[in-house]
Amino acid sequence: MSERSLRESGLNENYFELFALKQCFAIDTTALEGQYRQIQSKAHPDRFVTASSTEKLQSMQLATLANEAYQTLKKPASRAKYLLTLNKIDAIEETNTSMPADFLMQQMEWREALEDYKAAKDIDGLENLMKEMRQVASALTNELNHLFDEKNDLTSATATTRKLIFIDKVCEDINKAITQIED
């Protein structure tokens, strides 16, 4: 569906407003789930199986938007990135590549560890690395709570968001490596 047709659905495209949530980083995830289900209980195509084609189209568009919005707000990294987008900041813009030197060093070590475990087909090693990544991600998420909601420091929040996105990517690659070994 194009952006154009999403707009035609007449609903506000701000994901926080869509779910009647306050625009901030530390959202109430239980409320998000509840509101998401409320919207889908009205908008899901299953509710419009016998309706006119116009209503089917509307339902399809709103249900799609709600899914996209829900997925975006559910995960801290995508939520942070989205919050920055609303502030006209592109966290993963190509020109925006600066990273503190210590984090870059740390990154390289994790990457090397990942490659080593992968080569040794060491699933336990990979799973431990995953646990470490989750701890780092959780610390970064706490940092973002503070930077977005208390200090409104978008510059620092951008840097931290980039770190979190990076950690997510490592987690994804760890999962891929485990899957490859298991297959």
Among 23, 34, 120, 145, binds another protein (CB under 8 A): 34
Q: Which residue has the tokens 């006209």?
A: 88
Asked if 71 touches another protein (CB under 8 A), the answer is: yes
Contact assessment for residue 79 and residue 72, using Cβ atoms and an 8 Å cutoff: yes
148 to 177, contacts with another protein by CB under 8 A?
175
The residues, any chain, with a CB within 8 Å of residue 11's CB and separated by 6 or more, are: 18, 62, 65
By the rule CB under 8 A, 63 interacts with another protein: yes
- Using rule CB under 8 A, residue 15 touches another protein: no
Residues in the chain: 183
Quick one: how many helices (H) and strands (E) in the chain? Answer: 8, 0
Binding region for another protein (CB under 8 A) out of 35-43, 82-90, 111-119, 137-145:
35-43
Name the residue type at position 181.
Answer: I
When binding is defined by CB under 8 A, the residue of 2, 95, 97, 98 that contacts another protein is 2
Is residue 49 within 8 A of residue 133, CB to CB? The reply is no
Rg (CA), the chain: 20
Cβ 154 to another protein, closest distance in Å?
27
Whole-angstrom distance, CA of residue 107 vs CA of residue 113: 10
The distance of closest approach from Cβ of residue 41 to another protein in the complex, given in angstroms and rounded to an integer, is 5
**Could you say whether residue 128 binds another protein (CB under 8 A)?**
no
Among 32, 62, 73, 140, binds another protein (CB under 8 A): 62
Count of other CB atoms within 10 angstroms of residue 155: 8
Q: Is 8 in the site for another protein (CB under 8 A)?
A: yes
* Among 49, 101, 105, 119, contact with another protein (rule: CB under 8 A): 49
Q: By CB under 8 A, name the binding residues for another protein.
A: 1-3, 8-11, 19-20, 31, 34-35, 37-55, 57-60, 62-64, 67-68, 70-71, 175, 178-179, 182-183
